[in-house]
A and B are shown apart, each in its own frame.
Chain A
Amino acid sequence: MKLFVSSSPHLRSKKTTTGIMLDVIIALMPALVMAVVYFGFKALLLAFICVSSCVLTEYICRKVMKRQNTISDLSAAVTGLLLALNLPADISPFIAVFGCIVAIVVVKQMFGGIGYNFVNPALAARVVLMVSFPTAMTTWTNTRFMGVDAVTSATPLAAGEGAYSYLDLFLGNIGGSMGEVCTLAILLGGIYLVVRRIISPIIPVVYLGTAAIMSLILGLDPLYQLMSGGIMLGAVFMATDYVTSPITKWGKVIFGVGLGVLTMLIRTYSNLPEGVSFAILLMNILVPHIENLTKPKSFGESRKKGEKV
């Protein structure tokens, strides 16, 4: 009789990396559907282009590096979908594909693939595109319900407070990237992720809460600030990216506070159109340090005040 010998435990949970990524894709569906509603079929096409080019790029990368192929874990598909939702609907497909290659090759695979990238691939790619193609990346398509007097529109942040009603902001009848316009759709996705225990609500809640307090301090309208620009999409889907956010509970709190403060400072005092991407990238880089600061206390550990851990 041939017996298999291994070290305990001999059980495994059914929840796998692939399952988690699938849940993220499901959570992104409302945002994608709303993008199609507002911008038409081209939104779906762009998403398809991004997802397939990310997956293909990852496949080729792993082949070239002679590593075990990881496209089945769906993380490349998530990156592609997230990047698509961060682009204007009318962007050239070539620019989109370029972004996908940057995300997968430069940000993800060069550092060792899933789990080893130190910044969020989709966001880093978006920033690369933003500095490389500033015009294309900020030419926002009108939604279908905006009237026909203009083809493009300003984002709520550029237009200034009061340019859009709260209802338009909430439902997404505004200018912006495909996936960031509809606050409602993003919230639905976020609730799904929290209920399925894929993400902890700490980062989004602290991030948005800090941003709201910062707006009050800076004399801005918190509701308007939270529902415009990429902050919702960023808080729910980008800042909660496992790999690039702290794993400790207090680390998540610090991370969220940092994001909120940086986002609002960039929005108010810089001449960038939006602060979410840069805020998240900056905080991503600080994650290892945040984790070192917030090592949890283990069972029965006695740690005196001021003692170096």
Chain B
Amino acid sequence: MNREELNFPKKPFFTRGGAKVPHRKNTANCESVVLTDIPEVMIPMSQHIGAHCKPVVAKGDKVYVGTVVGDSDAFVSAPVHSSVSGEVKDIIYITLPNGVVSETVVITSDGLFEKDPAIKPPVVENKADFLKAVRASGLVGLGGAGFPAHVKLNVPADKEIDTLLINCAECEPYITTDHREVLENSWNVFSGIYAVKDILGVKRVIIGIEKNKPDAIKLLKEMADNQKYDPDDVIRVLPLKSSYPQGAEKVLIKACTGRVVPTGKLPSDVGCVVMNVASVSFVAEYLKTGMPLVRKRLTVDGSAIKNPQNVIVPIGTPVNRLIELCGGYKEECGKLLMGGPMMGIALFEDTAPVLKQNNAILAFNKKEASTAKGGSCIRCGKCIDACPMGLVPTKIALAAKKNQVDVLKEYNTMTCMECGCCTVTCPAQRYIVQSIRLGKAILREEARKEKGAEVKK
């Protein structure tokens, strides 16, 4: 095939806005440590966007690593598996950090990590087999959103996909798990890309990666140029500017292809599928071994952590145990985050379990946990300059507080992806994105009401 036709961009396309956030990638050189000394794991039935699973095990059952413990009949859902071998201690309800109350299977580990004897590599002959295998693997978007992968990969036949984008931007401060994934599992990354690319039938693959990871870029480029790893010569690495939020789906698509996803549409509407680098790597691993998603690489960092590092832990590991294994707290912890400091969720208790879509646990000291005062808007316009979606954040935030539905609609509130750039840059330290979230909730409520009124008619 002629390489020219594939139109690989030489440099990234323009993306507007963004915030200069500190990188703080302290753990970029820390090789991942596998932690196994976990006496008990908690496997919530909701670790993805979509329908909750139902437990398929009962109290006292013997489970192995990879045994299905929860599943659902719904399409938008993904099964969950046991991450240790041992015995089901109990099935309880817990409140997840995002506020969702979920049934949770508590498993006492026997410390042996015995593999479920039923596990074997899946037989994949066609697209249907592949999607079934991806569903069975329990894979969800590992970048943080947790959208079931088999749903994303099941692109309707009428939509033509020509580009697979691999998201390795990792624009959140602190987090280095994608970086480590590339360095430690580069072979899996490329074979995973090939598996997904063939199923989707795409012409080209672009790996988008921020410039602050020079060693990973060098490695990926070498491999993409190598006949052995990229026999079809369709993979290119595109170094992106180090600016939050380069890794946001719509921003990444614009930067890598120049295409703009229209409001309310999906990446597949502009011929793209975006997958996180850890997700494609996992696909390769699963096709090879048949071991479902039971372990996760995490960055453990922050001012209150004694030994910041990258770890690989069984899913369901309680955060407090994880932090103990990382040397515990250096000073009193004021705030615990699941995810990065820009979009991560603050935990209300340290017993919460590690989830599939989780990629960092950050602990901050009291000083960094203190919150902003929040003064009056001085209309400096920095939030407008920072907004990657071209919105007027301060207007939307004020309209949300005043419950002005028409203004919220007029200013395209639903386009907001809650990246928080407006709030980070605000000199008056206002809670802008938090108010916009409120505005989005108001609009959703309004839409529900309208729908209800229509039904009544």
Contact = CB atoms under 8 A, between A and B. Distances in A.
Interface of A: 1-13, 15-17, 19-20, 70, 73, 75, 112-116, 200, 242-243, 245, 247-248, 295-302, 309
Nearest to B391: A298
Interface in B298-340: 333-337, 339
Given A4-B346, A115-B377, A298 B415 contact: yes
A300 B410 contact: no
A12 B427 CA distance: 9
A115 B427 CA distance: 12
Contacts of B261: 300
Contacts of B415: 298-301
5 contacts: A4-B370, A5-B335, A115-B376, A200-B381, A295-B410
B371 to A, nearest CB: 5
Given A9-B341, A16-B427, A247-B384, 14 more contacts: A5-B335, A7-B346, A7-B433, A9-B423, A10-B342, A11-B22, A12-B372, A115-B378, A247-B379, A247-B381, A298-B263, A298-B412, A301-B412, A301-B415
B375 A73 contact: yes
A4 B411 contact: no
A17 B379 CA distance: 11
Contacts of A20: 378, 380, 427
Contact of B424 (A1, A4, A13, A17): A13
B420 interface: yes
Nearest to A75: B378
Contacts of A300: 250, 260-263, 265, 415
A115 B429 CA distance: 13
A7 B434 contact: yes
Nearest to B422: A9
Contact of A298 (B341, B381, B390, B429): B390
B110 to A, nearest CB: 29
Interface of B: 16, 19, 21-22, 173, 250, 254, 260-263, 265, 333-337, 339, 341-350, 364, 369-372, 375-381, 384, 388-392, 394, 410-412, 415, 418, 420, 423-429, 431, 433-434, 437
Contacts of B418: 8
A48 B151 CA distance: 68
B343 A9 contact: yes
Q: Which A-B residue pairs are the 9 nearest by beta carbons?
A: A9-B420, A115-B376, A247-B381, A299-B389, A10-B341, A300-B263, A298-B412, A298-B390, A4-B369
Contacts of B344: 8, 10
A1 B263 contact: no
A115 B377 CA distance: 6
A18 to B, nearest CB: 8
B9 to A, nearest CB: 19
Nearest to A200: B381
Given A116-B376, A299-B250, A10 B346 contact: yes
A3 B348 contact: yes
A9 B245 CA distance: 12
B85 to A, nearest CB: 31
Contact of A248 (B263, B335, B384, B388): B384
Given A10-B344, A16-B429, A296 B390 contact: yes
Given A3-B334, A10-B337, A17 B428 contact: yes
Nearest to A247: B381
The A contact surface, by secondary structure, is: loop
B8 to A, nearest CB: 24
A57 B344 CA distance: 43
B350 A296 contact: no
A10 B335 contact: yes
B264 to A, nearest CB: 8
A159 B265 CA distance: 64
B345 A1 contact: no
A309 B410 contact: yes
Contacts of B429: 12, 16
Given A4-B369, A300-B263, A11 B378 contact: no
Nearest to B376: A115
B411 A3 contact: no
A11 B410 contact: no
B376 A11 contact: no
A78 to B, nearest CB: 11
A4 B364 CA distance: 10
A309 B392 CA distance: 14
A13 B427 contact: yes
B357 to A, nearest CB: 15
Contact of B392 (A8, A19, A248): A248
A10 B364 CA distance: 10
A84 to B, nearest CB: 21
A152 to B, nearest CB: 38
Nearest to B343: A8
Contacts of A302: 262-263
B368 to A, nearest CB: 8
A242 B390 contact: no
B410 A9 contact: no
Given A10-B346, A299-B260, A247 B394 contact: yes
Contacts of B341: 8-11
Contact of B335 (A4, A70, A115): A4
A206 to B, nearest CB: 15
B371 A6 contact: yes
B388 A6 contact: no
B346 A5 contact: yes
A168 B323 CA distance: 70
Nearest to B426: A13
Contact of B350 (A1, A4, A242, A298): A1
Nearest to B389: A299
A253 to B, nearest CB: 13
Contacts of A1: 333, 350
Contacts of A298: 263, 389-391, 411-412, 415
Given A242-B381, A247-B379, A301-B263, A295 B392 contact: yes
A12 B426 CA distance: 8
Contacts of A299: 16, 250, 254, 260, 263, 388-390, 415
A5 B347 contact: yes
A3 B437 CA distance: 23
Contacts of A248: 381, 384, 392
A120 to B, nearest CB: 12
B378 A114 contact: yes
Contacts of B343: 8-9
Contacts of B345: 8
Nearest to A20: B427
Contacts of A19: 427
Contact of A3 (B333, B339, B375, B380): B333
Given A13-B424, A13-B427, A19-B427, A3 B263 contact: no
